[in-house]
Each structure stands twice: as C-alpha cells, then as structure tokens.
Amino acid sequence: MRARRPARPRGAVERLRERVAHVDDGDWFFAAIADQVAEQRLARGLSQKQLAELCGTTQSAIARLEAGGRPPRIDTLLRIANALDCELVVELRPR
C-alpha cells in the first residue's frame, strides 16, 4: 500500500473559489461579495479576527460571510468596506 502524499495547503481565497464555483445563479451576487471580502482582507494582511474588530463584529460572523453562510446586511457590508478602506458600490441595472 502506497502512502498518500499530504495535500498542498490551500489558501482561504482558493477554498472560497472552489465553493463558489458550485453556487446557483441566484446566489452569485453574495458569493462574489464573499470572495471580494476575503481577497481584500488577505491583501491587507488581516486575519478574520482583526477585520471583525475593525468593523465591530465577531470573527465567526466574518467567517460565515466569507463562506457564504448567509447574505450579509447592507449595514454590515458598509462597516466591512470602511474597515477595508474600500468603497461599497451597489447598483441596479436593467436585465
């Protein structure tokens, strides 16, 4: 019997992209936001706990958002955007 080689550790964004690849069309918006939050957080070298402290929430709330656990509220997204020094842009476009 051959020994299995340990899997290469995957980053948070890579794991998120794998999960997002299987999301239904109706959930693409929230999956895209979750991906952007994770990317911006990692680009700034912040842990989930550090981001949570900056925007007045818990680490578990940031983890749920990044995992696509449930759609975030607009006020939560505004606090996260401010903590990440980002602009939150929401728009309606004709289909």
* CA quadruple 69, 74, 75, 77: dihedral sign: positive
**Spans of all domains in the chain:** 12-83
**Residue written as tokens 């051959």?**
2
pLDDT in tens, the chain (95 residues): 555 555 555 676 666 566 655 555 557 778 889 999 999 999 999 999 999 999 999 999 999 999 987 788 999 999 999 999 999 998 888 98
Amino acid 61: pLDDT: 93
Amino acid 18: pLDDT: 65
Of 56, 65, 60, 7, the C-alpha closest to 38 is 65
Of 39, 23, 43, the C-alpha closest to 31 is 23
CATH number of 12-83: 1.10.260.40
Amino acid 91: pLDDT: 84
Angle between helices 28-43 and 59-66 (to 10 degrees): 130
